[in-house]
């Protein structure tokens, strides 16, 4: 509410100031006469920069999305694919593994591991 009141007051003051007649012309027309070459140049430069950025952006998006779909689908060749490892039946088979020989498991730990292996099946 307060913003609208301030805006209305500032707009009215600016309008009155720009309508002040000087040499049978308004202040706005005098300012416009002297500023129009500069504003025309500024607007043309901004337009060029904006169109250049839009072209760069459209090129980037075309390049980005043209690369998003592969030309051909990947295929798995059977002789290179991995084989399924056999399931361990109990902890004793797991203990035969080279990595676990160094570690010592207690009876409780072995029972827990057996329980986990049975649940995983």
Boundaries of every domain in the chain: 2-66, 86-120
Dump pLDDT digits (tens) for 6-28: 999 999 999 999 999 988 899 99
The H-or-E segment that residue 13 falls in is: helix 2-18
Residues 16, 9: Cα–Cα separation, whole Å: 11
Of 40-54, 55-69, 77-91, which range is least confident? 77-91
Distance in angstroms between the alpha carbons of the first and the last residue of the chain: 70
76 has pLDDT over 70? no
- pTM comes to 0.40
Residue 81's pLDDT is what? 54
Helix (H, G, I), strand (E, B) or coil at 46: helix
Radius of gyration of the chain measured on its C-alpha atoms: 40
């Amino acid at each position: 509410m307060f913003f609208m009141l301030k805006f209305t007051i500032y707009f009215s003051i600016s309008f009155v100031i720009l309508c002040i007649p000087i040499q049978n012309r308004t202040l706005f027309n005098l300012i416009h006469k002297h500023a129009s070459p500069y504003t025309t140049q500024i607007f043309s430069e901004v337009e060029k920069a904006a169109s250049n950025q839009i072209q760069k952006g459209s090129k980037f998006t075309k390049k980005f999305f043209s690369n998003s779909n592969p030309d051909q689908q990947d295929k798995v060749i059977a002789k290179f694919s991995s084989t399924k490892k056999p399931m361990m039946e109990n902890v004793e088979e797991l203990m035969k593994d080279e990595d676990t020989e160094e570690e010592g498991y207690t009876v409780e730990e072995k029972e827990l591991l057996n329980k986990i292996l049975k649940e995983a099946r």
